[in-house]
């Protein structure tokens, strides 16, 4: 790095800088290139550092400096404040859908030029995040499912529908996520009992969904924020049913624990993260190369195998086997969260939700 920068300065000093730079060998220029990429810290970042980034650097010559970002909205706040000062703590970041929408409100994301994303044709439409005027704000990075999980010792038969949550036979047996914006239970209620998530378009519709959801309360033993708490109880059979992450449940089952994850007939809840480029970043060129690289079916397949995420590209385009695909996804049309609601009505939803479960 140091040697390169000295060389560049020397060349600049020698005059005719532009021509000289262009004349420099391609390899040398490529080594000058780098990109700061933000991914969720912990398990995610470790997997990316090990399985994805070295290959990317080998293929493109762009060095990747990975940045551990916190989940939730803390990273969005940091990016926003840094961008106001013209700084980019990461050029490209993996952002949740709600954070994508909030960033759109302040034009935080540099629009992605889809002409430069050669592999865009394989992307599933729902993973392309767009500004209201149609510019692309972010491109799908990974997706994952929240499904209906059960303890196989307690439930010999796998449940087939989300209606199991409402079944009086399951009194005091469920573990559900404790927040409106990460459990997506309003969407589940709308899809299961109200004909689809469009039922949540109006406040009356949302209130009706809350009313229906209130009927689940007697069945819920645990509203969890801490994943470990529910995972432990599910494995032991203490809390034999609930909603949980499909990938982690699969890993636990592979380790021999008596648990299973089922895609209900109404669909699993599909959540996802996008690659987004901060407006303060100077590395637009490299960022586009990176995003294009990550959209390749082969890379998406690697992510499925190594990280356990579901591909954001069409299934046919990947070389995932039947078994590998089933381990991370399903062909049943998923329940896609109404992310727009968590932006426009977040405080109201949060208040109603807290009153529902605490009251």
Summarize as ranges the residues that interact with other proteins (CB under 8 A): 72-74, 77, 80, 101-102, 105-106, 178-179, 181-182, 221-223, 225-226, 229, 232-233, 236-238, 343-344, 346-347, 350-351, 354-355, 357-359
Q: CB 347 → other proteins: shortest distance, Å?
A: 5
Closer residue to other proteins (CB): 178 or 253: 178
How far from 116 is each of 212, 283, 290, 343, CA to CA, in Å?
46, 14, 11, 30
Q: CB 38 → other proteins: shortest distance, Å?
A: 17
Closer residue to other proteins (CB): 229 or 321: 229
Closer residue to other proteins (CB): 28 or 74: 74
Closer residue to other proteins (CB): 54 or 218: 218
φ, ψ (nearest 5 deg) of residue 238 = -60, -45
The sign of the torsion formed by the CA atoms of 313, 281, 342, 327 equals positive
Exposed/middle/buried for residue 345 (C-beta within 10 Å: 0-12, 13-18, 19+): middle
Task: Dig out the tokens for 179 from the structure.
Answer: 């927040």
Q: CB 229 → other proteins: shortest distance, Å?
A: 7
Closer residue to other proteins (CB): 205 or 258: 258
φ, ψ (nearest 5 deg) of residue 122 = -80, -15
Task: Dig out the tokens for 267 from the structure.
Answer: 């669909």
Closer residue to other proteins (CB): 65 or 355: 355
The sign of the torsion formed by the CA atoms of 72, 77, 83, 89 equals negative
Closer residue to other proteins (CB): 45 or 235: 235
Task: Dig out the tokens for 43 from the structure.
Answer: 């398990």
DSSP 194: S
Q: CB 79 → other proteins: shortest distance, Å?
A: 12
Closer residue to other proteins (CB): 166 or 223: 223
Q: CB 222 → other proteins: shortest distance, Å?
A: 7
Residue-wise burial string across 111-142, b where 16 or more C-beta atoms lie within 10 A, e elsewhere: bbebeebebbebbeeebbbeeeeeebbbbbbb
Q: CB 300 → other proteins: shortest distance, Å?
A: 30
> Whole-angstrom Cα distance, residue 293 to residue 60?
9
Q: CB 245 → other proteins: shortest distance, Å?
A: 17
Closer residue to other proteins (CB): 161 or 350: 350
CA 44 to chain centroid, in Å, comes to 11
Q: CB 183 → other proteins: shortest distance, Å?
A: 11
Q: CB 182 → other proteins: shortest distance, Å?
A: 8
Q: Left (φ > 0), alpha (ψ -120 to 50) or beta: where does 324 sit?
A: alpha
Query: Please, are residues 251 and 234 in contact by the beta-carbon 8 Å criterion?
Result: no
């Amino acid at each position: 790095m140091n040697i390169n920068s000295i060389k560049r300065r020397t060349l600049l000093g020698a005059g005719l800088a532009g021509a000289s730079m262009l004349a420099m060998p391609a390899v040398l220029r490529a080594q000058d290139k780098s990109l700061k990429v933000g991914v969720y810290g912990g398990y995610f970042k470790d997997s990316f550092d090990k399985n994805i980034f070295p290959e990317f650097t080998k293929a493109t010559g762009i060095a990747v400096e990975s940045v551990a970002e916190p989940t939730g909205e803390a990273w969005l706040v940091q990016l926003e404040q840094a961008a106001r000062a013209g700084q980019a703590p990461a050029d490209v970041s993996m952002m949740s859908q709600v954070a994508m929408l909030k960033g759109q409100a302040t034009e935080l994301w540099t629009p992605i030029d889809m002409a430069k994303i050669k592999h865009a044709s394989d992307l599933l439409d729902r993973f392309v995040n767009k500004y209201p005027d149609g510019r692309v704000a972010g491109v799908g990075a990974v997706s994952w499912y929240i499904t209906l999980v059960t303890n196989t010792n307690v439930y010999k038969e796998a449940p087939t529908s989300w209606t199991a949550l409402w079944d009086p036979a399951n009194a005091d047996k469920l573990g559900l996520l404790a927040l409106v914006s990460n459990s997506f239970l309003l969407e589940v209620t709308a899809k299961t009992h109200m004909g689809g998530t469009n039922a949540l378009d109006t406040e009356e519709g949302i209130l009706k969904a809350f009313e229906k959801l209130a009927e689940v309360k007697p069945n819920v033993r645990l509203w969890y924020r801490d994943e470990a708490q529910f995972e432990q109880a599910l494995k032991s059979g203490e809390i034999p049913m609930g909603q949980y992450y499909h990938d982690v449940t699969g890993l636990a089952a592979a380790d021999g624990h008596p648990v299973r994850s089922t895609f209900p007939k109404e669909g699993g809840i599909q959540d996802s993260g996008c690659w987004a480029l901060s407006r303060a970043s100077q590395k637009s060129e490299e960022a586009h190369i990176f995003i294009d690289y990550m959209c390749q079916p082969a890379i998406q397949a690697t992510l499925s195998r190594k990280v356990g995420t579901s591909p954001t590209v069409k299934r046919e385009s990947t070389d995932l086997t039947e078994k590998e695909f089933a381990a991370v996804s399903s062909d049943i049309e998923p329940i896609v969260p109404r992310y727009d609601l968590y932006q426009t009505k977040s405080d109201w939803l949060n208040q109603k939700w807290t009153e529902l479960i605490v009251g």
